[in-house]
Chain A
Amino acid sequence: MQLHERTASDLLNDLERGALSAVELARACLQNVKTHDASIKAFLHLNDEAILAQAEAVDAKRKSGARLGKLAGIPVALKDNLCLQGTLTTCASKILEKFVPPYTAHVVERLQQEDAILFGKCNLDEFAMGSSTENSAYQKTSNPWNREYTPGGSSGGSAAAVAASMAPLALGSDTGGSIRQPAAFCGIVGMKPTYGRVSRYGLVAFASSLDQIGPLSHDVQDAALLLEVISGHDYRDSTSVNRPVPSYTATLNDPIAGLTIGVPKEFFQKGLDSEVEQAVRAALKVYEGRGARLIEVSLPHSEYAVAVYYIVATAEASSNLARYDGVHYGHRAKQFDSMIHMYSRSRGQGFGKEVQRRIMLGTYALSSGYYDAYYKKALAVRRLIKNDFDAAFSQCDVVMGPVTPTPPFKIGEKSADPLAMYLSDIYTISCNLAGIVGLSMNCGLTKAGLPIGLQILGKEFDEEKVLRTARMFEKETDWHLKRPTMQS
Protein backbone atom coordinates (compact mmCIF):
# COMPACT_ATOMS: atom_id res chain seq x y z
CA MET A 1 0.00 0.00 0.00
CA GLN A 2 1.33 3.44 -0.90
CA LEU A 3 1.91 6.10 1.72
CA HIS A 4 -1.18 8.17 0.90
CA GLU A 5 -3.38 5.06 0.83
CA ARG A 6 -2.70 4.10 4.43
CA THR A 7 -5.01 4.77 7.36
CA ALA A 8 -4.51 7.68 9.74
CA SER A 9 -3.89 5.35 12.69
CA ASP A 10 -1.19 3.51 10.74
CA LEU A 11 0.41 6.78 9.58
CA LEU A 12 0.37 8.16 13.16
CA ASN A 13 2.60 5.27 14.27
CA ASP A 14 5.20 6.24 11.69
CA LEU A 15 4.86 9.95 12.44
CA GLU A 16 5.30 9.34 16.16
CA ARG A 17 8.44 7.24 15.84
CA GLY A 18 9.99 9.66 13.37
CA ALA A 19 9.86 7.34 10.35
CA LEU A 20 7.69 9.86 8.52
CA SER A 21 7.34 13.63 8.62
CA ALA A 22 4.10 15.58 8.36
CA VAL A 23 5.55 17.43 5.36
CA GLU A 24 6.33 14.15 3.52
CA LEU A 25 2.79 12.95 4.15
CA ALA A 26 1.20 16.25 3.10
CA ARG A 27 3.28 16.26 -0.09
CA ALA A 28 2.23 12.70 -0.93
CA CYS A 29 -1.43 13.59 -0.48
CA LEU A 30 -1.09 16.82 -2.46
CA GLN A 31 0.66 14.92 -5.25
CA ASN A 32 -2.22 12.46 -5.36
CA VAL A 33 -4.72 15.32 -5.57
CA LYS A 34 -2.72 16.77 -8.46
CA THR A 35 -2.74 13.48 -10.32
CA HIS A 36 -6.39 12.59 -9.87
CA ASP A 37 -8.56 15.48 -8.82
CA ALA A 38 -8.83 16.96 -12.29
CA SER A 39 -11.11 14.02 -13.04
CA ILE A 40 -12.53 13.21 -9.57
CA LYS A 41 -13.26 16.86 -8.63
CA ALA A 42 -13.50 16.17 -4.90
CA PHE A 43 -12.09 19.54 -3.80
CA LEU A 44 -13.54 23.01 -4.20
CA HIS A 45 -10.62 24.82 -2.57
CA LEU A 46 -7.17 23.54 -1.69
CA ASN A 47 -4.28 25.77 -0.69
CA ASP A 48 -0.97 23.87 -1.04
CA GLU A 49 1.05 26.52 0.75
CA ALA A 50 -1.26 26.70 3.74
CA ILE A 51 -1.22 22.90 3.99
CA LEU A 52 2.57 22.67 3.84
CA ALA A 53 2.91 25.49 6.37
CA GLN A 54 0.72 23.57 8.84
CA ALA A 55 2.74 20.40 8.23
CA GLU A 56 6.02 22.24 8.79
CA ALA A 57 4.67 23.67 12.03
CA VAL A 58 3.71 20.19 13.28
CA ASP A 59 7.15 18.81 12.39
CA ALA A 60 8.81 21.73 14.19
CA LYS A 61 6.61 21.21 17.23
CA ARG A 62 7.54 17.53 17.30
CA LYS A 63 11.23 18.40 17.01
CA SER A 64 10.92 20.82 19.93
CA GLY A 65 9.75 17.97 22.14
CA ALA A 66 6.37 19.61 22.84
CA ARG A 67 3.35 17.40 23.46
CA LEU A 68 1.45 16.77 20.24
CA GLY A 69 -2.25 16.25 19.63
CA LYS A 70 -4.01 13.04 18.72
CA LEU A 71 -4.03 13.79 14.99
CA ALA A 72 -0.61 15.43 14.71
CA GLY A 73 0.34 15.67 11.05
CA ILE A 74 -2.74 13.89 9.66
CA PRO A 75 -4.49 15.60 6.72
CA VAL A 76 -8.24 15.99 7.28
CA ALA A 77 -10.42 17.26 4.42
CA LEU A 78 -13.49 19.35 5.29
CA LYS A 79 -16.87 19.49 3.67
CA ASP A 80 -17.32 23.03 2.43
CA ASN A 81 -20.22 23.75 4.79
CA LEU A 82 -17.83 23.85 7.76
CA CYS A 83 -16.52 27.30 8.60
CA LEU A 84 -12.84 28.06 8.85
CA GLN A 85 -12.11 31.65 9.74
CA GLY A 86 -10.57 33.59 6.88
CA THR A 87 -11.08 30.97 4.17
CA LEU A 88 -13.91 30.62 1.64
CA THR A 89 -16.90 28.55 2.76
CA THR A 90 -19.28 28.31 -0.17
CA CYS A 91 -21.63 25.39 0.63
CA ALA A 92 -21.23 24.75 -3.11
CA SER A 93 -23.70 27.60 -3.62
CA LYS A 94 -23.48 30.71 -5.77
CA ILE A 95 -25.15 32.66 -2.99
CA LEU A 96 -22.07 32.12 -0.78
CA GLU A 97 -19.53 32.33 -3.61
CA LYS A 98 -17.47 34.97 -1.79
CA PHE A 99 -18.35 34.16 1.82
CA VAL A 100 -15.37 34.26 4.18
CA PRO A 101 -16.54 33.30 7.68
CA PRO A 102 -15.36 35.43 10.60
CA TYR A 103 -15.22 32.39 12.89
CA THR A 104 -14.24 28.71 12.92
CA ALA A 105 -16.51 25.71 13.46
CA HIS A 106 -16.14 23.87 16.76
CA VAL A 107 -15.11 20.63 15.03
CA VAL A 108 -12.44 22.48 13.04
CA GLU A 109 -11.10 24.07 16.22
CA ARG A 110 -10.90 20.59 17.72
CA LEU A 111 -8.85 19.42 14.71
CA GLN A 112 -6.53 22.39 15.15
CA GLN A 113 -6.13 21.67 18.86
CA GLU A 114 -5.13 18.08 18.00
CA ASP A 115 -2.56 19.29 15.42
CA ALA A 116 -4.35 17.88 12.38
CA ILE A 117 -3.56 19.35 8.96
CA LEU A 118 -6.65 21.11 7.55
CA PHE A 119 -6.59 19.72 4.05
CA GLY A 120 -8.88 21.72 1.78
CA LYS A 121 -12.63 22.09 1.37
CA CYS A 122 -14.64 19.40 -0.39
CA ASN A 123 -17.51 19.54 -2.83
CA LEU A 124 -21.10 18.83 -1.77
CA ASP A 125 -24.63 19.15 -2.98
CA GLU A 126 -25.53 22.82 -2.55
CA PHE A 127 -26.32 23.41 1.15
CA ALA A 128 -26.02 19.62 1.61
CA MET A 129 -29.30 19.11 -0.25
CA GLY A 130 -28.90 16.09 -2.46
CA SER A 131 -27.74 12.51 -2.72
CA SER A 132 -25.26 12.61 -5.58
CA THR A 133 -23.15 15.80 -5.28
CA GLU A 134 -24.57 16.76 -8.69
CA ASN A 135 -26.38 19.73 -7.13
CA SER A 136 -23.11 21.60 -6.54
CA ALA A 137 -23.11 24.99 -8.25
CA TYR A 138 -19.46 24.47 -9.16
CA GLN A 139 -18.66 20.92 -10.26
CA LYS A 140 -19.85 17.33 -10.29
CA THR A 141 -17.69 14.91 -8.30
CA SER A 142 -17.01 11.44 -9.69
CA ASN A 143 -16.90 8.13 -7.85
CA PRO A 144 -13.24 7.00 -7.58
CA TRP A 145 -14.31 3.39 -8.28
CA ASN A 146 -15.79 4.38 -11.65
CA ARG A 147 -15.90 7.93 -12.89
CA GLU A 148 -19.18 7.55 -14.71
CA TYR A 149 -20.87 7.09 -11.35
CA THR A 150 -21.75 9.57 -8.63
CA PRO A 151 -19.96 9.35 -5.28
CA GLY A 152 -23.31 9.78 -3.54
CA GLY A 153 -24.07 12.85 -1.50
CA SER A 154 -24.30 15.24 -0.08
CA SER A 155 -20.80 14.68 1.41
CA GLY A 156 -19.67 13.25 -1.95
CA GLY A 157 -16.50 15.34 -2.13
CA SER A 158 -15.40 14.26 1.36
CA ALA A 159 -16.13 10.59 0.59
CA ALA A 160 -14.39 10.69 -2.80
CA ALA A 161 -11.34 12.43 -1.27
CA VAL A 162 -10.91 9.61 1.26
CA ALA A 163 -11.74 6.78 -1.17
CA ALA A 164 -9.26 8.18 -3.71
CA SER A 165 -6.66 8.44 -0.91
CA MET A 166 -6.27 12.19 -1.30
CA ALA A 167 -6.65 12.56 2.48
CA PRO A 168 -6.89 9.74 5.01
CA LEU A 169 -9.71 11.44 6.91
CA ALA A 170 -12.56 13.81 6.14
CA LEU A 171 -15.48 15.43 7.89
CA GLY A 172 -18.96 15.48 6.46
CA SER A 173 -22.45 16.31 7.67
CA ASP A 174 -25.45 13.99 7.69
CA THR A 175 -29.04 15.26 7.68
CA GLY A 176 -30.73 12.27 6.04
CA GLY A 177 -27.81 10.04 5.10
CA SER A 178 -25.33 12.55 3.68
CA ILE A 179 -22.33 10.86 5.32
CA ARG A 180 -23.44 7.22 5.25
CA GLN A 181 -24.74 7.07 1.68
CA PRO A 182 -21.60 8.54 0.04
CA ALA A 183 -19.44 6.37 2.33
CA ALA A 184 -21.35 3.33 1.03
CA PHE A 185 -21.04 4.46 -2.60
CA CYS A 186 -17.30 5.09 -2.19
CA GLY A 187 -16.50 1.93 -0.20
CA ILE A 188 -15.35 3.62 3.00
CA VAL A 189 -16.55 4.12 6.60
CA GLY A 190 -18.90 6.99 7.43
CA MET A 191 -20.64 7.71 10.69
CA LYS A 192 -23.50 9.88 11.88
CA PRO A 193 -23.22 10.31 15.65
CA THR A 194 -26.15 10.78 18.03
CA TYR A 195 -27.88 14.14 17.65
CA GLY A 196 -26.09 16.47 20.07
CA ARG A 197 -22.91 14.38 20.39
CA VAL A 198 -20.96 16.77 18.13
CA SER A 199 -21.38 20.55 18.23
CA ARG A 200 -22.92 22.06 15.10
CA TYR A 201 -21.38 25.48 15.82
CA GLY A 202 -19.92 26.67 12.52
CA LEU A 203 -21.74 24.10 10.39
CA VAL A 204 -23.89 25.98 7.91
CA ALA A 205 -27.42 24.99 8.93
CA PHE A 206 -29.70 22.95 6.68
CA ALA A 207 -32.23 21.21 8.99
CA SER A 208 -31.20 21.95 12.54
CA SER A 209 -33.05 19.11 14.29
CA LEU A 210 -31.43 16.54 11.98
CA ASP A 211 -27.96 17.86 11.04
CA GLN A 212 -24.97 16.17 12.62
CA ILE A 213 -21.26 16.25 11.74
CA GLY A 214 -19.32 13.01 11.51
CA PRO A 215 -16.17 11.24 10.27
CA LEU A 216 -15.35 9.59 6.93
CA SER A 217 -12.37 7.21 6.87
CA HIS A 218 -10.84 4.06 5.40
CA ASP A 219 -11.63 1.95 8.44
CA VAL A 220 -13.44 1.86 11.76
CA GLN A 221 -10.30 2.50 13.81
CA ASP A 222 -9.89 5.85 12.04
CA ALA A 223 -13.58 6.69 12.44
CA ALA A 224 -13.30 6.06 16.18
CA LEU A 225 -10.20 8.25 16.36
CA LEU A 226 -11.77 11.19 14.51
CA LEU A 227 -15.09 10.90 16.36
CA GLU A 228 -13.27 10.96 19.68
CA VAL A 229 -11.64 14.24 18.66
CA ILE A 230 -14.76 16.05 17.45
CA SER A 231 -17.25 14.85 20.11
CA GLY A 232 -18.07 16.72 23.26
CA HIS A 233 -19.95 19.61 24.75
CA ASP A 234 -19.77 23.12 23.32
CA TYR A 235 -21.71 25.99 24.87
CA ARG A 236 -22.12 27.64 21.46
CA ASP A 237 -24.54 24.95 20.28
CA SER A 238 -27.53 24.82 22.61
CA THR A 239 -28.35 21.28 21.45
CA SER A 240 -24.84 20.04 22.21
CA VAL A 241 -25.09 17.43 24.96
CA ASN A 242 -22.99 17.75 28.10
CA ARG A 243 -21.99 14.18 28.64
CA PRO A 244 -18.53 12.62 28.90
CA VAL A 245 -16.94 11.32 25.68
CA PRO A 246 -15.72 7.75 26.08
CA SER A 247 -12.40 6.82 24.49
CA TYR A 248 -13.79 5.04 21.45
CA THR A 249 -10.33 3.88 20.36
CA ALA A 250 -9.53 2.36 23.77
CA THR A 251 -12.38 -0.18 23.66
CA LEU A 252 -12.65 -0.58 19.89
CA ASN A 253 -10.94 -3.93 19.62
CA ASP A 254 -13.00 -5.62 22.34
CA PRO A 255 -15.60 -7.74 20.56
CA ILE A 256 -19.08 -7.67 22.03
CA ALA A 257 -19.93 -10.98 23.66
CA GLY A 258 -23.47 -12.18 23.10
CA LEU A 259 -24.19 -9.53 20.46
CA THR A 260 -27.83 -9.47 19.35
CA ILE A 261 -28.43 -7.97 15.93
CA GLY A 262 -31.89 -6.80 14.92
CA VAL A 263 -32.64 -7.24 11.23
CA PRO A 264 -35.60 -5.08 10.20
CA LYS A 265 -37.80 -6.93 7.76
CA GLU A 266 -38.85 -3.62 6.19
CA PHE A 267 -35.27 -3.06 4.97
CA PHE A 268 -35.33 -6.22 2.84
CA GLN A 269 -38.53 -5.73 0.89
CA LYS A 270 -39.36 -4.55 -2.59
CA GLY A 271 -36.97 -2.10 -4.16
CA LEU A 272 -33.83 -3.66 -2.69
CA ASP A 273 -31.26 -4.55 -5.35
CA SER A 274 -30.32 -8.24 -5.28
CA GLU A 275 -26.56 -7.69 -5.26
CA VAL A 276 -26.92 -5.32 -2.30
CA GLU A 277 -29.13 -7.81 -0.48
CA GLN A 278 -26.66 -10.65 -1.06
CA ALA A 279 -23.71 -8.65 0.25
CA VAL A 280 -25.60 -7.49 3.34
CA ARG A 281 -26.90 -11.01 4.09
CA ALA A 282 -23.33 -12.33 3.70
CA ALA A 283 -22.17 -9.73 6.23
CA LEU A 284 -24.87 -10.85 8.67
CA LYS A 285 -23.56 -14.41 8.25
CA VAL A 286 -20.10 -13.21 9.20
CA TYR A 287 -21.53 -11.90 12.48
CA GLU A 288 -23.39 -15.15 13.05
CA GLY A 289 -20.11 -16.96 12.57
CA ARG A 290 -18.66 -14.81 15.36
CA GLY A 291 -21.44 -15.90 17.71
CA ALA A 292 -23.89 -13.06 17.23
CA ARG A 293 -27.60 -13.80 17.41
CA LEU A 294 -29.77 -12.46 14.59
CA ILE A 295 -33.39 -11.61 15.34
CA GLU A 296 -36.03 -10.13 13.10
CA VAL A 297 -37.28 -6.74 14.24
CA SER A 298 -39.94 -4.51 12.76
CA LEU A 299 -39.80 -0.80 12.01
CA PRO A 300 -43.36 -0.53 10.69
CA HIS A 301 -43.30 3.24 10.15
CA SER A 302 -39.99 3.32 8.29
CA GLU A 303 -41.85 3.34 4.97
CA TYR A 304 -43.03 6.86 5.86
CA ALA A 305 -39.56 8.15 6.74
CA VAL A 306 -38.87 9.76 3.36
CA ALA A 307 -42.23 11.55 3.39
CA VAL A 308 -41.72 12.78 6.97
CA TYR A 309 -38.21 13.88 6.15
CA TYR A 310 -39.19 15.92 3.11
CA ILE A 311 -41.63 17.88 5.26
CA VAL A 312 -39.52 18.29 8.40
CA ALA A 313 -36.20 18.93 6.66
CA THR A 314 -37.63 21.35 4.10
CA ALA A 315 -39.64 23.23 6.75
CA GLU A 316 -36.50 23.72 8.82
CA ALA A 317 -34.50 24.60 5.70
CA SER A 318 -37.01 27.22 4.58
CA SER A 319 -36.60 28.89 7.94
CA ASN A 320 -32.81 28.48 8.17
CA LEU A 321 -32.19 29.73 4.65
CA ALA A 322 -34.27 32.87 5.24
CA ARG A 323 -31.01 34.39 6.47
CA TYR A 324 -29.71 34.69 2.89
CA ASP A 325 -31.25 38.08 2.31
CA GLY A 326 -28.60 39.88 0.28
CA VAL A 327 -27.97 42.23 3.21
CA HIS A 328 -25.68 40.67 5.80
CA TYR A 329 -23.62 38.42 3.54
CA GLY A 330 -23.91 36.51 0.33
CA HIS A 331 -25.07 37.44 -3.15
CA ARG A 332 -27.12 40.57 -3.82
CA ALA A 333 -28.77 41.14 -7.21
CA LYS A 334 -27.51 44.14 -9.14
CA GLN A 335 -30.90 45.52 -10.15
CA PHE A 336 -34.22 45.51 -8.31
CA ASP A 337 -37.32 47.64 -7.84
CA SER A 338 -37.87 47.44 -4.08
CA MET A 339 -36.65 45.91 -0.86
CA ILE A 340 -38.80 42.77 -1.33
CA HIS A 341 -37.68 42.51 -4.93
CA MET A 342 -34.05 42.76 -3.81
CA TYR A 343 -34.63 39.75 -1.53
CA SER A 344 -36.45 37.63 -4.07
CA ARG A 345 -34.17 38.38 -7.00
CA SER A 346 -30.98 37.86 -4.95
CA ARG A 347 -32.31 34.53 -3.69
CA GLY A 348 -33.66 33.53 -7.10
CA GLN A 349 -30.24 34.15 -8.65
CA GLY A 350 -28.16 32.77 -5.79
CA PHE A 351 -29.89 29.47 -4.97
CA GLY A 352 -29.81 26.47 -7.28
CA LYS A 353 -32.91 24.57 -8.37
CA GLU A 354 -32.93 21.87 -5.68
CA VAL A 355 -32.43 24.39 -2.89
CA GLN A 356 -35.30 26.49 -4.27
CA ARG A 357 -37.49 23.40 -4.53
CA ARG A 358 -36.88 22.55 -0.89
CA ILE A 359 -37.38 26.10 0.36
CA MET A 360 -40.69 26.16 -1.53
CA LEU A 361 -41.82 22.79 -0.18
CA GLY A 362 -40.94 23.83 3.37
CA THR A 363 -42.62 27.22 3.01
CA TYR A 364 -45.74 25.49 1.70
CA ALA A 365 -45.77 22.96 4.55
CA LEU A 366 -45.52 25.75 7.11
CA SER A 367 -47.95 28.12 5.43
CA SER A 368 -51.30 29.04 6.87
CA GLY A 369 -53.87 26.32 6.27
CA TYR A 370 -51.32 23.57 5.60
CA TYR A 371 -49.33 23.58 8.85
CA ASP A 372 -51.50 20.98 10.60
CA ALA A 373 -51.97 18.80 7.53
CA TYR A 374 -48.28 18.61 6.70
CA TYR A 375 -45.87 19.82 9.36
CA LYS A 376 -47.71 18.70 12.50
CA LYS A 377 -48.69 15.44 10.87
CA ALA A 378 -45.08 14.77 9.88
CA LEU A 379 -43.90 15.43 13.45
CA ALA A 380 -46.46 12.96 14.80
CA VAL A 381 -45.25 10.27 12.40
CA ARG A 382 -41.71 11.17 13.38
CA ARG A 383 -42.62 10.20 16.96
CA LEU A 384 -43.93 6.84 15.70
CA ILE A 385 -40.66 6.24 13.82
CA LYS A 386 -38.71 6.94 17.01
CA ASN A 387 -41.02 4.63 18.99
CA ASP A 388 -40.29 1.86 16.47
CA PHE A 389 -36.57 2.19 17.15
CA ASP A 390 -37.09 2.27 20.93
CA ALA A 391 -39.03 -0.99 20.65
CA ALA A 392 -36.37 -2.56 18.41
CA PHE A 393 -33.51 -1.58 20.72
CA SER A 394 -35.32 -3.12 23.69
CA GLN A 395 -34.74 -6.47 21.95
CA CYS A 396 -31.30 -6.05 20.33
CA ASP A 397 -27.96 -4.25 20.67
CA VAL A 398 -27.76 -2.91 17.13
CA VAL A 399 -29.89 -2.90 14.01
CA MET A 400 -28.31 -3.89 10.69
CA GLY A 401 -29.29 -3.60 7.07
CA PRO A 402 -28.32 -2.01 3.78
CA VAL A 403 -27.32 1.68 3.55
CA THR A 404 -28.92 2.18 0.15
CA PRO A 405 -31.48 0.27 -1.92
CA THR A 406 -29.14 0.14 -4.92
CA PRO A 407 -25.41 0.28 -5.67
CA PRO A 408 -24.02 3.65 -6.88
CA PHE A 409 -25.99 5.20 -9.74
CA LYS A 410 -24.60 6.99 -12.78
CA ILE A 411 -24.07 10.72 -13.07
CA GLY A 412 -27.24 12.11 -14.66
CA GLU A 413 -29.29 8.98 -13.94
CA LYS A 414 -31.59 10.52 -11.34
CA SER A 415 -30.86 14.23 -11.60
CA ALA A 416 -34.03 15.04 -13.57
CA ASP A 417 -36.30 13.19 -11.14
CA PRO A 418 -36.19 14.70 -7.63
CA LEU A 419 -38.46 12.07 -6.08
CA ALA A 420 -36.35 9.15 -7.36
CA MET A 421 -33.31 10.87 -5.87
CA TYR A 422 -35.11 11.34 -2.51
CA LEU A 423 -36.02 7.64 -2.39
CA SER A 424 -32.35 6.63 -2.61
CA ASP A 425 -32.12 7.71 1.07
CA ILE A 426 -34.92 5.43 2.23
CA TYR A 427 -32.77 3.39 4.68
CA THR A 428 -30.71 6.24 6.11
CA ILE A 429 -33.31 8.91 6.84
CA SER A 430 -35.09 7.33 9.81
CA CYS A 431 -31.84 7.39 11.82
CA ASN A 432 -31.77 11.20 11.66
CA LEU A 433 -35.45 11.51 12.48
CA ALA A 434 -34.89 9.36 15.59
CA GLY A 435 -31.60 11.08 16.50
CA ILE A 436 -29.74 7.78 16.86
CA VAL A 437 -26.28 6.55 15.75
CA GLY A 438 -25.67 5.25 12.22
CA LEU A 439 -22.53 3.84 10.63
CA SER A 440 -21.88 2.73 7.07
CA MET A 441 -19.05 0.43 6.05
CA ASN A 442 -18.04 -1.43 2.92
CA CYS A 443 -19.23 -5.05 2.80
CA GLY A 444 -18.74 -5.98 -0.83
CA LEU A 445 -18.44 -5.03 -4.46
CA THR A 446 -20.94 -5.55 -7.25
CA LYS A 447 -20.02 -7.57 -10.35
CA ALA A 448 -19.38 -4.20 -11.99
CA GLY A 449 -16.87 -3.41 -9.23
CA LEU A 450 -18.89 -0.82 -7.28
CA PRO A 451 -18.98 -0.72 -3.46
CA ILE A 452 -21.89 -1.91 -1.32
CA GLY A 453 -22.52 -0.55 2.17
CA LEU A 454 -23.57 -2.25 5.39
CA GLN A 455 -25.44 -0.02 7.84
CA ILE A 456 -25.21 -0.45 11.61
CA LEU A 457 -27.66 1.54 13.73
CA GLY A 458 -27.38 1.96 17.47
CA LYS A 459 -29.47 3.71 20.06
CA GLU A 460 -28.66 7.23 21.22
CA PHE A 461 -25.14 7.59 22.66
CA ASP A 462 -24.25 4.01 21.74
CA GLU A 463 -21.38 5.11 19.47
CA GLU A 464 -19.00 2.86 21.36
CA LYS A 465 -21.11 -0.25 20.82
CA VAL A 466 -21.68 0.55 17.13
CA LEU A 467 -17.95 1.05 16.53
CA ARG A 468 -16.99 -2.15 18.35
CA THR A 469 -19.62 -4.05 16.38
CA ALA A 470 -18.29 -2.63 13.11
CA ARG A 471 -14.72 -3.49 14.11
CA MET A 472 -15.73 -7.15 14.61
CA PHE A 473 -16.56 -7.27 10.88
CA GLU A 474 -13.21 -5.79 9.88
CA LYS A 475 -11.42 -8.48 11.89
CA GLU A 476 -13.09 -11.18 9.78
CA THR A 477 -13.00 -9.55 6.34
CA ASP A 478 -10.73 -7.42 4.21
CA TRP A 479 -13.18 -5.03 2.52
CA HIS A 480 -11.71 -2.13 4.48
CA LEU A 481 -8.31 -2.78 2.91
CA LYS A 482 -9.58 -2.34 -0.65
CA ARG A 483 -8.75 0.82 -2.56
CA PRO A 484 -10.03 1.73 -6.02
CA THR A 485 -7.60 1.36 -8.90
CA MET A 486 -6.90 4.92 -9.87
CA GLN A 487 -6.28 5.53 -13.55
CA SER A 488 -4.73 8.96 -14.03
Chain B
Amino acid sequence: MAVSANDIRWVAHLARLEFAEAELEHFTEQFNEILKYVDQLKSVKTDGVEPLAHALPIHNVFRDDVVTESLTRDEALANAPDRRNEFYGVPAVLE
Protein backbone atom coordinates (compact mmCIF):
# COMPACT_ATOMS: atom_id res chain seq x y z
CA MET B 1 0.00 0.00 0.00
CA ALA B 2 1.97 2.97 -1.28
CA VAL B 3 1.62 6.45 0.13
CA SER B 4 0.81 9.24 -2.34
CA ALA B 5 2.09 12.80 -2.46
CA ASN B 6 -1.33 13.83 -1.15
CA ASP B 7 -0.97 11.55 1.88
CA ILE B 8 2.42 13.13 2.52
CA ARG B 9 0.85 16.58 2.37
CA TRP B 10 -1.66 15.49 5.02
CA VAL B 11 0.99 13.98 7.31
CA ALA B 12 3.09 17.14 6.90
CA HIS B 13 0.06 19.14 7.98
CA LEU B 14 -0.42 16.93 11.05
CA ALA B 15 3.28 17.25 11.86
CA ARG B 16 3.22 21.02 11.27
CA LEU B 17 6.01 20.91 8.71
CA GLU B 18 6.01 23.18 5.68
CA PHE B 19 7.34 21.39 2.61
CA ALA B 20 8.48 22.82 -0.68
CA GLU B 21 6.31 21.28 -3.43
CA ALA B 22 9.49 20.56 -5.40
CA GLU B 23 10.75 18.22 -2.66
CA LEU B 24 7.51 16.36 -2.28
CA GLU B 25 7.97 13.75 -4.99
CA HIS B 26 11.43 12.63 -3.93
CA PHE B 27 10.36 12.61 -0.31
CA THR B 28 7.31 10.46 -1.11
CA GLU B 29 9.56 7.98 -2.90
CA GLN B 30 11.95 7.71 0.06
CA PHE B 31 9.04 7.46 2.46
CA ASN B 32 7.56 4.56 0.52
CA GLU B 33 10.89 2.77 0.43
CA ILE B 34 11.15 2.98 4.21
CA LEU B 35 7.53 1.88 4.68
CA LYS B 36 8.15 -1.10 2.43
CA TYR B 37 11.04 -2.13 4.64
CA VAL B 38 9.02 -1.61 7.82
CA ASP B 39 6.14 -3.65 6.38
CA GLN B 40 8.14 -6.84 6.99
CA LEU B 41 6.84 -6.58 10.57
CA LYS B 42 3.46 -7.73 9.24
CA SER B 43 4.90 -11.22 8.73
CA VAL B 44 5.73 -11.60 12.44
CA LYS B 45 3.14 -13.49 14.50
CA THR B 46 2.23 -11.36 17.50
CA ASP B 47 -1.14 -12.77 18.54
CA GLY B 48 -1.45 -12.48 22.29
CA VAL B 49 1.88 -10.65 22.64
CA GLU B 50 1.60 -7.72 25.02
CA PRO B 51 3.07 -4.54 23.45
CA LEU B 52 6.25 -3.34 25.19
CA ALA B 53 6.49 0.45 25.45
CA HIS B 54 9.30 0.48 28.02
CA ALA B 55 11.96 -2.20 28.35
CA LEU B 56 12.05 -1.92 32.14
CA PRO B 57 9.02 -1.50 34.38
CA ILE B 58 8.36 2.16 35.03
CA HIS B 59 6.10 3.69 37.59
CA ASN B 60 4.59 7.06 38.23
CA VAL B 61 6.81 9.15 40.43
CA PHE B 62 5.00 11.44 42.84
CA ARG B 63 6.24 14.25 44.99
CA ASP B 64 4.59 16.20 47.75
CA ASP B 65 2.42 19.01 46.50
CA VAL B 66 4.57 21.80 47.86
CA VAL B 67 6.09 24.84 46.22
CA THR B 68 9.76 24.33 45.34
CA GLU B 69 12.34 26.40 43.59
CA SER B 70 11.83 26.74 39.83
CA LEU B 71 13.00 28.90 36.95
CA THR B 72 12.40 32.60 37.32
CA ARG B 73 10.13 34.26 34.79
CA ASP B 74 13.14 35.90 33.13
CA GLU B 75 14.97 32.59 32.83
CA ALA B 76 11.93 30.87 31.37
CA LEU B 77 11.40 33.64 28.83
CA ALA B 78 15.05 34.17 27.95
CA ASN B 79 14.98 32.01 24.80
CA ALA B 80 11.59 33.16 23.52
CA PRO B 81 11.77 34.39 19.91
CA ASP B 82 9.08 36.97 20.66
CA ARG B 83 9.03 38.02 24.27
CA ARG B 84 6.49 40.66 25.19
CA ASN B 85 7.05 41.85 28.72
CA GLU B 86 6.12 38.88 30.87
CA PHE B 87 4.53 36.86 28.08
CA TYR B 88 5.31 34.80 25.03
CA GLY B 89 4.20 36.66 21.92
CA VAL B 90 2.12 34.62 19.48
CA PRO B 91 0.16 35.49 16.32
CA ALA B 92 -3.56 36.06 16.74
CA VAL B 93 -5.48 32.77 16.97
CA LEU B 94 -8.97 34.28 16.62
CA GLU B 95 -9.96 36.89 14.08
Contacts and interface: CB of A to CB of B under 8 A. Distances in A.
A308 interface: yes
A200 to B, nearest CB: 12
Given A330-B79, A338-B91, A347-B17, A419 B34 contact: yes
Interface in B16-59: 16-19, 27, 30-31, 33-34, 37-38, 40-42, 44, 46, 49-56, 58
A117 interface: no
Contacts of B76: 102
B19 A348 contact: yes
A81 to B, nearest CB: 16
A361 interface: yes
Given A339-B92, A357-B31, A380-B49, A238 B78 contact: no
Dominant secondary structure of chain B at its interface with chain A? loop
Contacts of A341: 18
A194 B52 CA distance: 16
24 contacts: A103-B71, A194-B56, A209-B53, A239-B58, A311-B38, A326-B81, A328-B79, A329-B81, A343-B16, A344-B13, A347-B16, A348-B17, A356-B19, A360-B12, A361-B34, A363-B11, A380-B50, A380-B51, A383-B51, A384-B44, A419-B30, A419-B34, A435-B56, A460-B55
A98 interface: yes
Contacts of B90: 327, 339, 342
A294 interface: no
A141 to B, nearest CB: 24
B79 A98 contact: yes
Contacts of A419: 30, 33-34, 37
B79 A99 contact: yes
A348 B71 CA distance: 30
Given A360-B12, A435-B56, A330 B51 contact: no
A377 interface: yes
A201 interface: no
A343 B60 CA distance: 32
B16 A344 contact: yes
Contact of A310 (B14, B34, B61, B81): B34
A331 B3 CA distance: 30
Closest 8 CB pairs of A and B: A435-B55, A348-B18, A379-B51, A329-B79, A332-B81, A380-B46, A383-B52, A363-B15
Given A339-B91, A363-B15, A419-B34, A330 B54 contact: no
Contacts of A332: 81-82
B79 A100 contact: yes
B3 to A, nearest CB: 8
Contacts of A433: 55
Interface of A: 98-100, 102-103, 194-196, 209, 235, 238-239, 241, 301, 304, 306-308, 310-311, 318, 322, 325-332, 336, 338-345, 347-349, 351, 356-357, 359-361, 363-364, 367, 373-374, 376-384, 386, 418-419, 422, 433-436, 460
Given A329-B79, A329-B81, A367-B11, A209 B91 contact: no
Interface of B: 3, 8, 11-19, 27, 30-31, 33-34, 37-38, 40-42, 44, 46, 49-56, 58, 60-61, 63, 71, 75-76, 78-82, 88, 90-93
Given A100-B78, A327-B80, A332-B82, A377 B71 contact: no
Contacts of B31: 357, 360-361, 364
A363 B14 contact: yes
A133 to B, nearest CB: 20
Contacts of A460: 55-56
A347 B41 contact: no
A367 B52 contact: no
A327 to B, nearest CB: 5
A235 B61 contact: yes
Residue of B11, B16, B61 with highest tally of chain A CB at under 10 A:
B16
